[in-house]
Copies of this chain bind each other. A is one copy, B any other.
Amino acid sequence: MSTQKALAYLDGHREDFVGRLIDFLRIPSVSTLPEHQADIVRAAEWCARLLTNAGLEARVVPTEMHPAVVGRYRADPAAPTLMLYGHYDVQPAGDESLWNSPPFEPSARNGAIYARGASDDKGQVLANLLGLECWLKSAGRLPINIVVLVEGEEEIGSPSFGGFLKAHGAELACDDVLVSDSSQYKEGMPAITYSTRGLVYKEIELTGASRDLHSGVYGGVAPNPANILCQLVASMKDPSGRVAIPGFYDGVRPLEAWERQNLESLPYDERAMQEMLGVLRLEGELGYGPLERVWARPTLDVNGIVGGFTGPGSATIIPSRAMAKVSMRLVPDQDPTAVSAAFDQFVASFLEGHCRYTIRDKASCAAYLAPVEGAGIQAAKGAVKAAWGVEPVLVREGGTLPILPTLKQGLGADSILIGYGLPDCPVHGPNEFFHIEHFLAGIGTAVQFFEQYGRLAGDETRSAR
């Protein structure tokens, strides 16, 4: 009954809600650029006001960098508590000449809103927040306790997030977290993401002679750090594409039978992917299909490399230095600390006594795997089915969401990722968009989810007692 009321409220506020999305998108809350500091604050205050108006206690809480928005709704101490997580900050617009309409003047066309942040993440997080309003303004109350956390640093790697969780742990305590910052599998195939990869990111710098040398006068005696770096990087993989660092695969959890079956049932057109990327062929570890390679196998990639003379022309030098940024995506249950140490050990064995070097640690984050049989994902499946009319598919994600292991470690909470946007939306590029029908269906999903989650998580809580 309450769900029906909430959905009727949604139905009566379609235009109003789209208008609010447009208002939110107008604020250029770019977290990477200091000149947008005032816009960051404006966006945080906008969110807090929306929550207050919906009937929550809400406030803007300072962090070490950009403020976070925290909202509370207390239904019943015995009811389960759900956190809604999202972020109000956005990527820079990039080259504005590539946009068909200005990035911070939302434009409605082809049934979609075009603006920076439309999908990532303002449109998706707003859908969940408006789901709260639908319940509270119609049924008058929610069946679950709610914690809202909308942060302003996601696009810069959430540097204050860990400290913020520690400082406000009691206030933020919850059983599960609903995150809408992923995407559907494809048009018509809504998806629930139950795993993300981790990341270990390294910068290696090799030093040969104390200055660039003449390659004629010293070619044949001077060590060349650019050649040595190439040999080092090449030796990190064997010819089958497998990472050759001893211990690298320790702990890698193989796919379960249901996962393999699920993965094989998903459409994946290698040829279309190849053409979309403009490459001669897809690559990766021999013996695994493309989806398994991206979702469930760790990788090692050079993200950048530089050394010596790189301008036009042909300087004949032996460079003094060469540097590479190398990162590894990890899967459950690899330990990022162990992988980091294995990498350092591998580099040391290769270079010891050969060439001076420095390794700089740039990032370290574990993979995340949600309990697919838990109340959260079960409720999400029911909610998506009810809102979109089709069963969602269960997917993994090749990218990294550092907040997921942080929330699990800090609050003991598992995350449920429901994506409302499309995978081909250029979320960090020009002409980012969000279909209006997806936005509204997203609000509907949130409405359904609160009800289903209240029921299933409530059962879980009771049976655990």
Contact = CB atoms under 8 A, between A and B. Distances in A.
Nearest to A311: B304
A262 interface: no
Contacts of A197: 216
B273 A221 contact: yes
Contact of A278 (B209, B281, B299): B209
B303 A305 contact: no
A138 interface: no
Nearest to A233: B230
Contact of A306 (B217, B283, B305, B354): B305
Number of copies: 2
Given A230-B234, A314-B201, A325 B309 contact: yes
Nearest to A209: B277
A363 B319 CA distance: 19
Contact of A220 (B231, B284, B309, B322): B284
Given A307-B302, A314-B303, A329 B221 contact: no
A278 B225 CA distance: 13
A235 B8 CA distance: 67
Given A281-B354, A294-B220, A319 B307 contact: no
Interface string A187-223: 0000000000101010100001110011111111111
A121 B397 CA distance: 63
A319 B306 contact: no
A280 B216 contact: no
Given A237-B227, A302-B308, A308-B305, A222 B283 contact: yes
A315 B308 contact: no
A399 B451 CA distance: 78
Contacts of A233: 227, 230-231, 234
Given A217-B294, A314-B325, A309 B319 contact: no
Given A230-B305, A305-B305, A305-B322, A398 B299 contact: no
A65 interface: no
Interface size band for A: 35 or more
Contacts of A175: none
A352 to B, nearest CB: 9
A354 B281 CA distance: 7
Contacts of A382: none
Interface string A285-312: 1000010011101011111111111110
Interface in A152-211: 197, 199, 201, 203, 208-210
A283 B314 contact: no
A462 interface: no
Given A217-B398, A220-B294, A230-B302, 15 more contacts: A209-B279, A214-B428, A215-B329, A220-B284, A220-B290, A222-B279, A226-B304, A226-B305, A302-B307, A304-B308, A305-B307, A306-B310, A308-B325, A314-B362, A316-B400
7 contacts: A210-B277, A215-B301, A219-B294, A303-B317, A304-B308, A306-B310, A310-B323
Interface of A: 197, 199, 201, 203, 208-210, 213-224, 226-227, 229-231, 233-235, 237, 273, 277-285, 290, 293-295, 297, 299-311, 313-319, 322-325, 327, 329, 353-356, 362-363, 397-400, 428
